[in-house]
């Protein structure tokens, strides 16, 4: 149900059309379409089991579509492997923190640069040229500073509190130079102050990089504070689309997800 005349930027970002995903006899996602344009933070919200992570997996190639198409930058990527989509510019984080505990902050962030080489010539991942090493160092330093982690670059990730670990994840995906970031519940485990810091850094990253973000998140304060546009799912179907104000004021969304306290 579209309620406004929101128009994405002329340059196409991530666009999904008519996504259908079946698991056995269960339809997890039913005819969902959306756009996550560059320069915007687009929210994908809904109750647990609504199909949000399944859509992320379909967009990044981890789940096979029953029907529908996914395009990125005007190119159909529906049949591309996950590593090819990463090379095309799609970056992703997961619900659970997935970092290398024994490595330093800088080493974890530098791993994000490997997405540019994944699935290509294996030798490029084993032996990098001097130019590639310098480029990785620059990308890593820029991502660390953008996420406020410059002073922690040498610390072992396993020593960090949850808030900083989430920022390491964000820095890692930013270091990859991706033009669209799919962030799956990035504020999970964060307190109010850490969530506010994360939201501001995310906004700064979009403003400075011009990248697009597709955000799955249950923290409605974060969603309402950073998102430019929202899509609302319930039982695998798109039930509403609009601005944060329109979503907050929607009887349909309150009944399905937000509840009466959001009124």
Higher-pLDDT residue of 8, 133: 133
Share of the chain above pLDDT 70, in %: 88
pLDDT score, position 109: 94
**Mean local confidence (pLDDT), 17-45:** 95
Say whether pLDDT at 3 is over 50: no
Q: What is the dihedral of CA 217, 220, 222, 224, to 10 degrees?
A: 110
Give residue 262's pLDDT. Answer: 47
pLDDT at 8: 52
Task: Report the SS3 class of residue 175.
Answer: helix
Q: What percent of the chain has pLDDT over 90?
A: 67
Evaluate whether 244 touches 222 at the Cβ level (below 8 Å): no
Q: Is 164 exposed, middle or buried (0-12, 13-18, 19+ CB in 10 A)?
A: buried
**Which of 203, 154, 163, 156 minimizes the C-alpha distance to 187?**
163
Residue 6: is its pLDDT beyond 70?
no
In the chain, what are the domain boundaries?
A: 14-98+177-262
Q: What are the structure tokens assigned to 101, written together?
A: 């505990």
Residue 124: which pLDDT band, with cuts at 50, 70 and 90? low
Q: What is the pLDDT of residue 97?
A: 79
- Say if residue 117's pLDDT is above 80: no
Tell me the per-residue pLDDT of 166-218, one tens digit each, with 9 for 90 and over.
Answer: 999 999 999 998 999 999 999 888 889 989 999 999 999 999 989 999 999 99
In a 10 Å sphere around its CB, with 0-12 CB exposed, 13-18 middle and 19+ buried, how is residue 254 labelled? middle
Predicted TM-score (pTM) of the model is 0.87
Q: What is the pLDDT of residues 50-97, one digit of tens each?
A: 999 999 999 999 999 999 999 999 999 999 999 999 989 999 998 887
The angle, 0 to 180 degrees and rounded to 10, between the axes of the packed helices 162-175 and 130-146 is: 140
Q: Read off the pLDDT of residues 96-109 as tens digits, 9 standing for 90 and up.
A: 878 898 999 999 99
What pLDDT does 114 receive? 75
What is the rounded (10 degree) CA torsion for 114, 116, 119, 120? -120
- CATH superfamily label, 14-98+177-262: P-loop containing nucleotide triphosphate hydrolases (3.40.50.300)
């Amino acid at each position: 149900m579209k309620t406004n005349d929101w128009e994405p930027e002329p340059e196409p970002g991530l666009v999904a059309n008519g996504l259908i995903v079946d698991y056995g006899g269960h339809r997890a996602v039913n005819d969902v379409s959306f756009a996550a344009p560059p320069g915007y933070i687009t929210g994908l919200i809904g109750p647990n089991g609504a199909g949000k992570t399944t859509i992320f997996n379909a967009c990044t190639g981890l789940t096979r579509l029953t029907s529908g198409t996914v395009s990125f930058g005007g190119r159909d990527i529906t049949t591309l492997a996950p590593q090819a989509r990463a090379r095309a510019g799609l970056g992703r984080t997961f619900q659970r923190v997935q970092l290398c505990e024994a490595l330093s902050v800088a080493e974890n962030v530098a791993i994000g640069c490997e997405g540019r080489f994944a699935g290509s010539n294996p030798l490029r991942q084993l032996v990098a040229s001097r130019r590639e090493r310098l480029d990785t160092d620059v990308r890593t330093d820029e991502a660390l500073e953008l996420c406020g982690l410059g002073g922690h670059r040498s610390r072992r990730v396993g020593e960090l509190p949850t808030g900083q670990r989430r920022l390491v994840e964000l820095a890692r995906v930013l270091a990859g130079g991706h033009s669209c970031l799919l962030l799956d519940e990035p504020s999970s485990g964060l307190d109010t102050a850490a969530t506010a810091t994360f939201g501001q850094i995310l906004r700064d990253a979009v403003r400075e990089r011009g990248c697009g973000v597709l955000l799955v998140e249950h923290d409605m304060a974060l969603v309402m504070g950073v998102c430019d546009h929202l899509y609302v799912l319930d039982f695998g179907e798109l039930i509403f689309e609009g601005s944060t104000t329109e979503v907050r004021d929607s009887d349909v969304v309150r009944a399905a997800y937000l509840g009466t306290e959001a009124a």
